[in-house]
Structure 1
Amino acid sequence: MKFYSTNNPSLRVSMEEALLRSLPADRGLYMPETIPFMGADFFNSISDGSLSDIGFQVSKALFKDSIPSDKLEELVHHAFPFDTPVVTLEDGKTHVLELFHGPSLAFKDVGARYMAAMMGYYLEKSNQEVHILVATSGDTGGAVAMGFLGVPGIKVTILYPSGRVSDLQEKQLTTLGQNITAIEVDGSFDDCQALVKTAFTDSELNRQFRLASANSINIFRLIPQSFYYARAYGQVKQFGKPVVFSTPSGNFGNLSAGALAYKMGLPVQQFIASTNLNYVVPKYLETGIYEPKPSVETISNAMDVGSPSNFVRLTHLFDDHYETLKQILTGYFFNDEQTKQAMEAVYQQFDYVMCPHTAVGYLGLTSYQQSNPGVCGITLATAHPAKFKELVESVIHKPVEIPAALEELMNRPKHSFKMKADFDEFKEFLLQTA
């Protein structure tokens, strides 16, 4: 299996290179050379398939003989000891795909654990070491920290924007120790992401380390996220209605993964890009003009991305044709007050508790359904509401129970390094702590 750069389609690298190097030297993004078409028989037969069952079948079709079949099956099942259930709010109409049943209680466990399994396989074979750099707006860091904790041959450095993640999210980044280092950046997520991207193009750092990314700029973080779209379809196809997905969107890796599943043959009528006031993609869909902006701070902080790096992958999957993309993707954006109102309304009507990101997705779904009432809608629940305990409780006026795993983290001391959004300072830190 080969991968190419979005900036240079003639470039071809191995699966191992794309996984462990993460970013091409030309600063494009890796994409699979071929996307397997799974066909109607596959999607008609997955109602009873677990996330790991579906993940193995798709991985096998995608990677072919790059990893022996029995070993690949072992890796995928090890990555996913949890499932991604669909919960019904209104039968055949409104559903929630719960993606928070992994160890960090966020959807990014799926990508992080899959990446960790694949990296561990190649590093064990080659006896090499990798230094993973990751920027997080909230949930990525916790999933990566837990997914890679204690994995031999891997050191992880996580950058997060100071004061812009929840207390629980910060504890997941800063309390684990071992091979996990957290850097608290005086700036936004976009600043953190820029530091990471610049590091990958710095010749001195690349001579010193084998750098890799666990952000969704790494294609192996994104590929496994396509699995749960298929898993969700298998759980609702019984209703016999056109299926639409509403994806709370920030860096657009999650929605790009849905588009990848669509290209594999997943029967989807429409994807909905639901954002907060960082609405660069909904505006693009409205005007045809893509204009990144500085990120705006909101209560759905993991989506506070003003320059989504995966937008290029999303358009690339549709041959950079604006009209083609518009046929399959609709965009909406919402402010904090609308988000809170949705959280309260869902709780009052369905006795269901949503985190603010999930509520943004729900708003996008119900907005679409106003003019498309006959569809079976699925909104992605990207994080457990306990990760935003104070906010959620202030909205629904009910205590939110913290799962035992998170409760234990809250009692641990925080350990982080504070830093300005300055690449020279970041580079010096990496070189000194090697």
Structure 2
Amino acid sequence: MDFYNLKHPEEKVSFGQAVRQGLGRDQGLFFPERLPHLDARMLSVLPRHQRYQAILKPFVEGTFSDGTLAQMVAEAFPFEAPLVPVGPHFALELFHGPTLAFKDFGARFMAQCLKRLGSGQPITILTATSGDTGAAVAHAFHNQPGVRVLVLYPKGKISRPQEQLFCTLGGNIETLAVEGDFDQCQALVKTAFDDEEVKGRCGLNSANSINISRLLAQILYFWDLALSQPDLVVSVPCGNFGDLTAGLMAKAMGAPIKRFVAATNSNDTVPRFLAGGQWQPRDTVATLSNAMDVSRPNNWPRVAKLLDSQGWTLAAGAVSEADTRAAVQALQLQGYLGEPHCAVAFKALLDQLESGERGAFLCTAHPAKFAEAVGAILGMELALPGPLARAMEKPNLSRTIAADWQALRAQLLS
């Protein structure tokens, strides 16, 4: 299957080239030329890894053989995404991978792809993180020969456990604390891809959700959810809108999902756009759900394409800080320990459900990654799981840089 540039549809590339290249001309996002329609009943009887292979095969056919794809799936996804009842609704837990966040799905599959697509030339992975991408990408590519990883993150704007998970690895992993917000980190990544010298000398690639391989991996757990509990309303906590893009793609492919709710925090560019028709990003504000502190979501063109081509409308809601705290407490009263991101999704789901509907909300990170915030809200101390506890004891290896392209350029070319 070919993938085309949403800004310049005449630019078409193979799956392998789309993964290696990351972005198309003029920073355009790649999108599949078609979305295959799959038989939900057939998929429902397959073992999990065989189901994943069947979902991914149409996209990677011509790039990877069936046997190679089977091996990639087995290596990328040794963990599951359980659907846990919470009252009449469900929590989709996406934090059972090695870095305790949903980003493990996409990052690990991308690593499997690049490991097999390498041309022998060095690759530099440049990515920005608002919290969880950094750890997932860093762990997925740690010690992979021929791969250098630079992770940018907003200094002082992610939780310490999040930071420690990826800023303590060393080796081929370099972490840069940027004196700015996530949108500035993301802008630096985009600028790097416009610099032909940097791209050529570094073999530049991005592991952000702009890379199509990450989105395809995220489609998988939306199918898991839909086949386990069909016809639910699904609330997705949204930052860069990659997760929602994957969910909409799954639905377009035949996954029995009733509809979606785009849940944001106070960085509410999309809810305001859907309500008033004006795209008016504001300055990013820091919130409890810091991984969603994004005012200019890169994946929105893909969402817009899906909504337009399918004739769908999208429900959306912005959740305040006070309501986020209240939602964490409400989940606890129902016997479920959540953190701010899933609380935003839970609150937005309850606000948008119609009579007779049941829903699911995505839990994108382990509560212990936000132990300080959750502990303060609930008046309790959270125990850190093993990976976090070990990371907290290691020295932080990050360097601080200004939110300045020349500073990053010098780092890339060093």
Unaligned runs of 5+ in 2: none
TM-score calculated relative to the size of structure 1: 0.93
The structure 1 residue matched to 2:266, chosen from 269, 277, 294, is 277
Name the residue aligned to 2:95.
Answer: 100
Name the residue aligned to 1:144.
Answer: 137
Corresponding residue SS for 1:246: strand
Letter in 2 for 1:101: H
The structure 1 residue matched to 2:115, chosen from 120, 131, 143, is 120
Name the residue aligned to 1:392.
Answer: 374
Whether 1:427 and 2:398 are equivalent positions in the alignment is no
Deviation (angstroms), 1:313: 0.7
The structure 1 residue matched to 2:155, chosen from 162, 187, 192, is 162
Corresponding residue SS for 2:263: strand
Does the 8 Å CA contact 1:294/1:307 hold for their aligned counterparts?
Answer: no
Deviation (angstroms), 1:399: 2.2
Whether 1:331 and 2:316 are equivalent positions in the alignment is yes
String of CA shifts for 1:294-339, please: whole Å, max 9, x gaps.
2111010000001001001100123379xx342xx20001111110
Name the residue aligned to 2:80.
Answer: 83
Counterparts of 1:317-396 in structure 2, within 5 Å, are 317-319=306-308, 324-326=311-313, 329-348=314-333, 350-369=334-353, 372-396=354-378
Letter in 1 for 2:224: R
Name the residue aligned to 1:201.
Answer: 194
Does the 8 Å CA contact 1:21/1:210 hold for their aligned counterparts?
Answer: no
Determine the C-alpha separation between the residues in 1 that align with 2:392 and 2:40.
46
Kindly tell me the number of residue pairs found equivalent between the two proteins.
414
Letter in 1 for 2:96: H
Determine the C-alpha separation between the residues in 2 that align with 1:232 and 1:355.
20
Does the 8 Å CA contact 2:202/2:413 hold for their aligned counterparts?
Answer: no
Does the 8 Å CA contact 2:227/2:256 hold for their aligned counterparts?
Answer: no
Does the 8 Å CA contact 1:246/1:271 hold for their aligned counterparts?
Answer: yes
Name the residue aligned to 2:14.
Answer: 14
Deviation (angstroms), 1:151: 1.4
TM-score calculated relative to the size of structure 2: 0.97
Letter in 1 for 2:346: Y
Corresponding residue SS for 1:42: helix
Whether 1:309 and 2:306 are equivalent positions in the alignment is no
Whether 1:222 and 2:215 are equivalent positions in the alignment is yes
String of CA shifts for 1:144-167, please: whole Å, max 9, x gaps.
111111112211000000000000
Name the residue aligned to 2:282.
Answer: 293
Corresponding residue SS for 1:53: helix
Determine the C-alpha separation between the residues in 1 that align with 2:26 and 2:114.
23
Does the 8 Å CA contact 2:83/2:92 hold for their aligned counterparts?
Answer: yes
Deviation (angstroms), 1:62: 2.2
Q: Please, which moves more after superposition, 62-71 or 78-87?
A: 62-71
Does the 8 Å CA contact 2:5/2:25 hold for their aligned counterparts?
Answer: no
Deviation (angstroms), 1:14: 1.7
Identity %: 40
Does the 8 Å CA contact 1:243/1:270 hold for their aligned counterparts?
Answer: yes
CA RMSD of aligned residues (A): 1.3
Whether 1:213 and 2:206 are equivalent positions in the alignment is yes
String of CA shifts for 1:404-425, please: whole Å, max 9, x gaps.
1110010000011111100011
Determine the C-alpha separation between the residues in 1 that align with 2:40 and 2:292.
34
Deviation (angstroms), 1:34: 1.9
The structure 2 residue matched to 1:192, chosen from 185, 193, 212, is 185
Determine the C-alpha separation between the residues in 2 that align with 1:104 and 1:53.
24
String of CA shifts for 1:156-209, please: whole Å, max 9, x gaps.
000000000000011012100111000000000000000000001101102212
Does the 8 Å CA contact 1:97/1:232 hold for their aligned counterparts?
Answer: yes
Determine the C-alpha separation between the residues in 1 that align with 2:225 and 2:47.
10
Q: Please, which moves more after superposition, 59-68 or 252-261?
A: 59-68
Does the 8 Å CA contact 2:102/2:365 hold for their aligned counterparts?
Answer: yes
Deviation (angstroms), 1:4: 0.7
Q: Please, which moves more after superposition, 78-87 or 23-32?
A: 23-32
Letter in 2 for 1:344: Q
Does the 8 Å CA contact 1:250/1:275 hold for their aligned counterparts?
Answer: yes
Determine the C-alpha separation between the residues in 1 that align with 2:115 and 2:412.
22
String of CA shifts for 1:71-123, please: whole Å, max 9, x gaps.
11110111001000000012xx3100000000000000000001001111112
Does the 8 Å CA contact 1:386/1:402 hold for their aligned counterparts?
Answer: yes
Letter in 2 for 1:140: T
Letter in 1 for 2:388: L
Does the 8 Å CA contact 2:151/2:175 hold for their aligned counterparts?
Answer: yes
Does the 8 Å CA contact 2:179/2:402 hold for their aligned counterparts?
Answer: yes
String of CA shifts for 1:199-248, please: whole Å, max 9, x gaps.
011011022121100000111111110110000112223xxxx3111000
Determine the C-alpha separation between the residues in 2 that align with 1:409 and 1:269.
40
